[in-house]
Amino acid sequence: MSKIKTIGVLTSGGDSPGMNAAIRAVVRTAIENGLFVKGIYNGFKGLIDGNYIDLNSRSVSNIIQRGGTILKSARCKEFHVKEGREKAFDSLRKANIDGLIVIGGDGTFAGAKVFFDEFGVPIIGLPGTIDNDIFGTDFTIGFDTALNTITEAVDKIRDTAASHDRLFFIEVMGRDSGCLALWSGVAGGAEEIILPESEFRIEQLINLLRKGAQLKKTSSIVIVGEGGGASGKAYKIAKQVCEIAVEFETKVTVLGHIQRGGKPSAFDRVLASRLGVISVYSIISGRSNCMVGWLNQKIEYTSFEKAIKRHSPLDESLLGLYKTLSS
């Protein structure tokens, strides 16, 4: 057993539904095991600034159902340089924090890995991102909620599309991963799904849409994965379609940050709670420099290095499935 007496917990990167459930699980598990817990506001920036708060069981009451993160999140350029990380380490020592639990995506884990390599601070990571792109876990905290948000939006847009015989392009988040696009496309019955991982050809899309029109389809939905984390891809594709296939009346909806918000689903609450509990037992038992994930229905540990360098692959079975069902 390690000599950890006080742990710090922070959320970093983009917020995701379920982060609060993870914080709650970390705090209550730590206290049950005789540890002190300090919440760190604004991610790695809070480490540098010493922006800490003592947390107890009551501090995390009534937050499991809340979206976002009570500890807030922030980008921190200063943490990217050695001098900034030295400030963060000095701040941790002054606060008598012996180890960290960080909740976020691959950018968070990259920062955690460097911090561990330089100063040896015990760190455990929890995968919190709607993108579901972290290697070493089947699902990330927030993905299921975002998926349900997108699916509900697609259902509503299809009502309008069917009423006016329109073609809708709906752009979803995911950065370089098409996981949200693929899953929401299957769930929403999309006619086509454009993924960052796949080559896109405008001619193939137009042929597919024209085939649907010949079959008397009253609406068409095309899900577009943003790719690269920059919005606007759907507008470009819709413009290309209009220039070639003038018979289609097209509309574009970019769902944007609505996908990050809202109450976490039951699945995300359970996943976050499970991983939060295990993260505490992991750090007090001596594990470090790794992420706790849920893989093949069991807890698995993945080094930060692997989690950063490799992305979770798309579900091959879903890739074939949507082609069959969209006809």
Q: Which residues are catalytic?
A: 131
Using DSSP, state whether 245 is helix, strand or coil.
coil
φ/ψ (deg, to 5) at 224: -120, 120
Residue with tokens 């692959």: 313
Amino acid at 27: V
Distance CA 113, CA 120 (A): 10
Q: Return the H-helix or E-strand segment holding 221.
A: strand 220-225
Rg of the chain (C-alpha set):
22
Query: How deeply is 263 buried, as exposed, middle or buried, from its count of CB atoms within 10 A (0-12, 13-18, 19+)?
Result: middle
- Please, what's the b/e burial string for 50-80 (b: 16 or more CB within 10 A of its CB; e: otherwise)? ebbeebeeebbeebbebbbbbbbbeebebbe
* Closest C-alpha to 126, from 143, 106, 148: 106
**Does residue 190 sit in helix, strand or coil?**
coil
What is d(CA 264, CA 250) in angstroms, rounded to the nearest whole number?
32
Q: Residues 234, 197, 188, CA angle at the centre, nearest 5°? A: 55
Residue with tokens 């920062």: 111
C-alpha neighbours within 13 Å on the C-beta side of residue 140: 33
Buried b (16+ CB within 10 A) or exposed e, 14-36: bbbbbbbbbbbbbbbbbbeeebb
